[in-house]
Amino acid sequence: MSKRIDGLSPTQLPLAPLGAGDLIDRAIRLYRRHLFVLIRTAAPPVIIIAAGWILFSISVRQIFINFATDAFLFNFLLAFVSVVIMFAGYLSILVVMGGATRTLVAHLLRNDPVTAHATYKAVRSRFWGLVGASVIVLGWIFASSLAASSGGQMAGMIVFMVVAALANLSFWLAVIFGVVGTLITTAFSVWLFFFVVGRVAYVPQVMLVEGKGVIEAVGRSISLARGNVRRLMAMTLFTSFGTISALMILSVLIGFLGGFSGINVRQPSEWPAWYAIAASILGPLSAILVTPVWMLGLSLLYVDERVRHEGYDIELMAAQQLGEVPDINVSSPLGTALYMESKKPPPAPRSSGSVLNLG
C-alpha cells in the first residue's frame, strides 16, 4: 500500500513499520513542512545553551589573561555557573522533546496544527515530572558512556595483546589486524552505547502521550526499546553530520569575517571579545537548525515502536473513527492513543420539586 507520508494527515497513516531511511526521510519532510514552527520550538533550550557557552568562553578567556586572585575566583565561579546553565539547556531539550511528541501524535490523531504553543502547553502540564525524568535520562546517558568506554577499553586491550603477539611473526599482519581490530572495537563501543542509552529514549514521550508517571515511563520505555539500536544510531549520526556541516559553514563565514577585520584567527588569546562571543555561539546556532530534526526523529521513532509492537496505527485509526474511549477505570498494559487530562463532570441541575422539573 502506497501512502503519502509528508503531511501525516489522519487519513494517511502508514500501516507498515519504518526503517532508518524512512524515519529520516519523514523527519526531513516534516521539518520542511513546519520549518519555522519547529525552529521556534527548539530555539528556547538552544538559546539557554548558547548563553552558557558565551559565559563559559568569556570566563575561560579571562582565567588565562587575568591571574589576580580575586579575578581568578570570580571567573572560576562564572565558569561553573555557565556549566550549570548549559546543563539546564540540555535538560530543557529533553523536556521539550516530550511536548513535541504529543503535538505530533495529536496531529496524527485529530489533525491538530503543529505549533510551538501546543508543545509548550503540553510541557507545562507535566513540567516538574518531565524535569525529573530528564535528569534520570541524562544520568543514564552518562552511565551509558561509561559502559561503552569500559567495553571499548577491554576490547582494545585484547586487540593490543594480539597485535603484540603477531608483531613477532609478521609486521604487516600485525598492522592489518590492528587496523581491523581498532575499527571493530570502535564499532562495538558505539553499538554498546546506543544499546544501553536506547532503553530510556522514550521516557518524555511516554509521559506526555500515555500519561505515565516518571518511574512507570522508565519501565515503559525499556519495554518499548527492542531492536531500536540501528535506527537510533542512524538518526544520531544523521543529525550529528548535519550539525557538523552547519558548524563548518558558519565557521568558514566567521573566519572570513575575522580575516577581513584583521584578526589572527589562529591565536584565540588575541581575539577581541565580540569575535570570541561570535565563535562560541556557532555550535548553538547550528544546533538550532538541526535540533528539530532530532526531536522529530525521536518522536517518529517512538510512534514507530508502538506500531511495531502494539498495532498503534490501528489504535489511532480507531480513535479517529470512534472518538475518545470513556473513562471506565479499566487499565491496560499498553499505552493509550493519546492521554487526555481527566475533566470534572458538569454539575447536576437543581431539583425544583420533581425529577422532571415539572412541579
Q: Is the pLDDT of residue 232 over 80?
A: yes
Helix (H) or strand (E) holding 44: helix 35-65
Q: Is the pLDDT of residue 136 over 70?
A: yes
- Report the b/e string of 197-221 with b at 16+ CB within 10 A: bbbbbbbbbbbbbbbbebeebbebb
- Where residue 320 falls among pLDDT bands split at 50, 70, 90? low
**And the C-alpha cell for 317?**
485509526
- Where residue 16 falls among pLDDT bands split at 50, 70, 90? low
Residue partners of 107: CB distance under 8 A and separation at least 6:
8, 113, 114
Q: Cα–Cα distance between 13 and 7 in angstroms, integer? A: 10
Q: Is the pLDDT of residue 7 over 70?
A: no
Better-predicted residue by pLDDT, 41 or 14: 41
Q: What percentage of the chain exceeds 70 in pLDDT?
A: 80
Q: Cα–Cα distance between 173 and 161 in angstroms, integer? A: 14
Burial class (CB in 10 A: 0-12, 13-18, 19+), 277: middle
Structure confidence at residue 315 (pLDDT): 65
Structure confidence at residue 290 (pLDDT): 79
Amino acid making up residue 152:
G
Residue partners of 258: CB distance under 8 A and separation at least 6:
265, 271, 275
CB atoms within 10 A of CB 2: 5
Q: What is the pLDDT of residues 197-231, one digit of tens each?
A: 888 888 888 888 888 888 888 888 888 887 788 88
Q: Cα–Cα distance between 141 and 201 in angstroms, integer? A: 10
Q: How far is CA 87 from CA 50, 52, 226, in A?
A: 11, 9, 29
Structure confidence at residue 167 (pLDDT): 80
Q: What is the pLDDT of residues 159-202, one digit of tens each?
A: 888 888 888 877 888 888 888 888 999 999 999 999 998 888 88
Structure confidence at residue 326 (pLDDT): 52
Mean model confidence pLDDT for the chain: 77
Q: Cα–Cα distance between 54 and 291 in angstroms, integer? A: 19
Mean pLDDT confidence for 281-289: 75
With beta carbons less than 8 A apart as the criterion, state whether 48 and 92 touch: yes
Mean pLDDT confidence for 295-306: 83
CB atoms within 10 A of CB 261: 11
Residue extents of the structural domains in the chain = 20-313
- Worst-scoring range by mean pLDDT, 111-115, 277-281, 331-335? 331-335
